[in-house]
């Protein structure tokens, strides 16, 4: 897979390996043939499914719709790992949802 002359990566071309830098060509051997298989998995995660009474509550925020001072809250990492988490609130009175970054 690497050029014996200059050490650059060789790419397959017309049944042979061709160097991308100097143009040197060589035969494709058994050690150069690789098969990579990937398996995609898809999971579905339910964050809130109807029964929010099991979530923690806070009195430290105010609902933007009804000005209620109590809300359920959860924390999710919605951005990069070096960014702070996102707090998601749901009003206990009118069930309005909002975020705080």
The domains of the chain are located at 1-40, 52-100
Residue 87: partners with Cβ closer than 8 Å, 6 or more residues away: 73, 74, 75, 99, 100, 101
- What pLDDT shows up at residue 65? 92
**Which residues are catalytic, by number?**
82-83
Q: What is the arithmetic mean of pLDDT over 39-61?
A: 69
pLDDT in tens, 15-36: 788 888 888 888 877 555 566 6
* Fold held by 52-100: N-terminal domain of TfIIb (2.20.25)
Q: Is 41:48 a contact under the CB 8 Å cutoff?
A: no
Q: What is the arithmetic mean of pLDDT over 39-54?
A: 63
- Give the separation between CA 65 and CA 57, rounded to whole angstroms: 18
How would residue 6 be classed by pLDDT, with cut points 50, 70 and 90? confident
84 pLDDT higher than 80:
yes
């Amino acid at each position: 897979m690497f050029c014996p002359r200059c050490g650059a990566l060789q790419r397959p071309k017309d049944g042979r390996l061709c160097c991308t830098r100097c143009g040197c060509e060589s035969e494709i051997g058994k050690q150069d043939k690789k098969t990579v298989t990937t398996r995609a998995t898809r999971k579905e995660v339910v964050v809130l499914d109807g029964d929010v009474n099991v979530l923690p509550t806070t009195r430290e925020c105010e609902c933007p719709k009804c000005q209620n001072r109590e809300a359920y809250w959860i924390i999710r990492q919605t951005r990069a790992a070096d960014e702070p988490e996102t707090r998601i609130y749901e009003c206990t009175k009118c069930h309005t949802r909002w975020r705080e970054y």
